[in-house]
Each structure stands twice: as structure tokens, then as C-alpha cells.
Amino acid sequence: MKPCKGFSLIELVTVIVLASILSVYAVSQWPDDSELKLPSQANLLQTHLKHIQYLSSIWGVPLRLTIVAGGYSVSCVNSPGPAPCDVSPVLDPATNKPFNVVLQSGLTLSSSSAVTDFDSLGRPVSAGSIISTTPARTFTLTAGVSTRNIVLSAITGYVQ
């Protein structure tokens, strides 16, 4: 009788059990999906803050960023009015769609104030005057245990 070549049943079961243990460990160490989306959403918010400043200065009208559940929207401070303030939220000229942003799932946005106004020069304002009581406005994006802060400097409106 010739001996058969190949793996025994015990060897196969051992390999399968070890592979299962390693895969369970790898999956448990994988970062949360929302944490992977956090950097791109933070960059998008920075870009939108700069875009709002640009639009308010080009249009010559004060604009308002309002944090809402699950995102944020942009409207005119003195709405309704002539175009572009005839609709709320305003239409983003880059997309020709309402300037309404929905955060990706698992992300939340918070700030010390739910409303941030920009004057017709693109500067952050509070109650009609340049923000002077606080040095900056901080927007915090949160995904699980990770956070990203976007800081809007007072007076200059520099976004970092």
C-alpha cells in the first residue's frame, strides 16, 4: 500500500481555526468607517467656509452659515430679497443647487454658535459687528472618538 500525499484533516482544521482567529482580530482593529471619512469632511468644511466668504464679497451681501441636524446650510442674512437672496438656502453657483450640505453618516458638527454670519466683505460678524469678544470661532467635526477642529479667525476670517 502506498502512502497518500496531502494534508490530514487535523492540519486543515488547525489552519482554518488560526485563519479565523486572525481575521476576527484584524476586523476588530479596523477603524470605524466614519473615522475614515473625517479628514475629507473637514477639508470640505474648510473649503465651504472659504467659498462662503468669497460669495459674500462677490455678491456684496451678508451670508449666514447655519448648523442644522446632520449638516449645515448657507442663506442670506437679509432673506428674502433680490437675487441671490430670493431663495433659502442660496444656490451655490459652483453646482447651481441649494447650498445645503449633509454630513456623511456617523459624523456630527458642532460650534459654540449654531449661526455664523459673514459681512459683505467676507469677514465673520456677530450681531452686526466684527467678532471681537472671542478670538476665533471653532467648528468641531466628530466621528466616534476622533475629532477635527476648523478654526475661523476673528476679524480676518482666516480658515485653518
For residue 18, name the pLDDT band (cuts at 50, 70, 90): very high
**What single DSSP character describes residue 55?**
H
d(CA 102, CA 93): 18
Neighbours of 15 (CB within 10 A): 11
38: amino acid identity, one letter = L
pLDDT tens-place string over residues 95-145: 889 999 998 888 889 888 888 888 888 888 875 455 545 568 889 998 888
What was the pLDDT predicted at 38?
Answer: 85
User: pTM, whole model, 2 decimals?
Assistant: 0.74
3-state SS, residue 71 = strand
CA–CA separation, 78 and 117 (whole Å): 11
- Residue-wise pLDDT for 53-80, tens only, equals 999 989 999 999 999 888 999 998 887 7
From its phi and psi, is residue 71 left (phi > 0), alpha (psi between -120 and 50) or beta? left
**What's the CATH number for 34-153?**
3.55.40.10
In whole angstroms, give the CA distance from residue 82 to residue 3. 91
